[in-house]
């Protein structure tokens, strides 16, 4: 298998930036789960795609669709936290083409 084994394949995954990673790990520790820290963050999706030799197809805020779908069913704190996360780019959906 060479470099062309997955040519044209697409990869879609969620990611967080460094600030989001700190918040997520703080929350995980607060729940008492000390065995599940996260270690990876992407601060610049464009640079990440270039470094990985991929084409950046799309970067989408993580919570936008969920906020629309769950409108009226979320508490105030959750709605604010999700909106802040989306507006600051702390969590996002990354779509790459290999």
Is 3 or 7 the better-scoring residue by pLDDT? 7
Instruction: With respect to residue 28, please indicate whether it lies within any of the assigned structural domains.
Output: yes
d(CA 45, CA 87): 15
Could you give the count of Cα atoms lying within 13 Å of 65 in the half-sphere of its Cβ? 5
When divided into structural domains, the chain yields a total of 1
Q: pTM of this prediction?
A: 0.80
Residue pLDDT, tens place only, 49-87 = 999 999 999 999 999 988 889 988 999 999 999 999 999
Instruction: With respect to residue 77, please indicate whether it lies within any of the assigned structural domains.
Output: yes
What are the distances in angstroms from CA 56 to CA 1, 5, 76, 77? 24, 19, 34, 32
Instruction: With respect to residue 67, please indicate whether it lies within any of the assigned structural domains.
Output: yes
- State the residue range of the domain holding 33: 8-97
Instruction: With respect to residue 91, please indicate whether it lies within any of the assigned structural domains.
Output: yes
pLDDT band at 3 (very low <50, low <70, confident <90, very high): low
Buried-exposed string 48-76: b where 16+ CB fall within 10 A, e elsewhere:
bbeeeebebeebebbbeeebeeeeeeeee
């Amino acid at each position: 298998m060479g470099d062309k084994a997955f040519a044209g394949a697409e990869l879609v995954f969620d990611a967080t930036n460094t600030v989001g990673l700190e918040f997520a790990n703080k929350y995980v520790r607060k729940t008492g789960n000390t065995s599940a820290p996260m270690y990876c963050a992407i601060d610049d999706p464009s640079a990440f795609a270039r470094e990985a030799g991929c084409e950046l197809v799309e970067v989408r805020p993580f919570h936008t669709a969920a906020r629309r779908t769950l409108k009226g069913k979320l508490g105030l704190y959750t709605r604010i936290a999700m909106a802040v996360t989306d507006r600051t780019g702390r969590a996002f959906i990354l779509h790459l083409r290999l």
